Amino acid sequence: MTLNLAESAGRLRSATHLVVVTGAGASAESGIPTFRDALSGHWAKYDPMQLATPQAFENNPALVSRWYDRRRRDALACQPNAGHAALVKIEQAYAARGARFTLLTQNVDRLHQRAGSRNVHELHGSLYRWRCTGCQHAALEDRPEPLEPYPPRCANCGGSRRPSVVWFGEMLPEDAVAAAEHALSTCDVYLSVGTSSVVYPVAGFAQTAQDAGAWCVEVNPEPTDLSGLFHQCLRGKAGDVLPELVDAALG
């Protein structure tokens, strides 16, 4: 990798608060297709933008819950990649020197937590928590067996259960948004990894961080609509760039 990451590595070496935002690209090298990659196989005929909505679940709870359970089980079978591990390494190094580290993820696969990241906020929820649309009873679903018949039924009231992910048109979890807003107002480095930066409100975070004076870095093999906002764009895969960036920063 012949990226000139010296400037960003230098900023990471001395930062007092690093905020990292990750998207589906951070999990791509673990084998999880990105949100906008063409869906494969049986799902190829569906548009994720059409499936990730409350209306889709209302119209066809069996289809939508089957899709999410497929993704849940696929994610369970995947392993965190070198990019996830690099974020764990820098979080530990920051803790060791009393600096702050906040990880805000749009991903619902829990690979950051499985890699060992501690301060993780799941802005778009998780594939592993399913709640009843009737009595709201929620349960952790981390077994590999399918949750069929679809939609899974609530043990409490027999209602349909849905994944606790944030669908388009739904509000993000209040606690995660509050944590994000506080972190963005106090960070001096903002690192965006593997997101197309098209989904709001998360796509607005880079501007918020920059307005607060943060040095902003984008890690993505492709340019995004917001690349012009960043002080440095590291054009590469998360699994390649993050270990190199973290090693250069930690020296």
The catalytic site residues sit at 124
Q: Are strands 125-132 and 189-193 parallel, antiparallel or unpaired?
A: unpaired
What is the separation of C-alpha 147 from the centre of its chain, rounded to a whole number of angstroms?
A: 23
Of 8-16, 113-121, 154-162, 184-192, the segment contacting Zn ion by CB under 5 A is 154-162
The single residue among 64, 82, 132, 206 that binds Zn ion, judged by CB under 5 A, is: 132
Q: Is residue 135 within the footprint of Zn ion (CB under 5 A)? A: yes
Residue from 94, 89, 117, 86 nearest 104 by CA: 117
- Helix, strand and coil content of the chain, in percent to the nearest 5, comes to 40, 20, 40
- We find the least distance from the C-beta atom of residue 155 to Zn ion, in angstroms, to be 8
- Residue 28 interacts with which of Zn ion, ligand BV8, none, CB < 5 to 8 Å by class: ligand BV8
∠35-37-40 over CA atoms, to 5°?
105
CB 24 within 8 A of CB 106: yes
Interface segment toward ligand BV8; rule CB under 6 A; list 13-21, 54-62, 148-156, 199-207 = 199-207
Q: Which residue of the chain is nearest ligand BV8 when measured via CB?
A: 25
Cis peptide before 173 (omega within 30 of 0): no
75 near ligand BV8 (CB under 6 A): no
> Of the listed pieces 150-158, 161-169, 210-218, 225-233, which binds ligand BV8 according to CB under 6 A?
161-169
With CB under 6 A as the contact rule, the residue among 11, 84, 121, 237 that binds ligand BV8 is 237
Residue 170 is a binding residue for ligand BV8 (CB under 6 A): yes
Q: Say which entry of Zn ion, ligand BV8, none residue 80 contacts (CB below 5 to 8 A, set by partner kind).
A: none
Number of residues that bind ligand BV8 (CB under 6 A): 33
| Residue 216 contacts residue 229 (beta carbons within 8 Å) | yes
Residue 124 sits in the site that holds ligand BV8 (CB under 6 A):
yes
DSSP state of 152: P
The site partner of 29 among Zn ion, ligand BV8, none (C-beta below 5 to 8 Å per kind) is ligand BV8
Q: CB–CB of 215/231 below 8 Å? A: yes
* 117 Cβ neighbours under 8 A, 6+ residues apart: 84, 87, 88, 91, 103
> Helix or strand or coil: residue 246?
helix
Binding site for ligand BV8 (CB under 6 A): 23-25, 28-29, 34-36, 52, 106, 108, 124, 165-171, 194-196, 198-201, 219-222, 224, 237-238
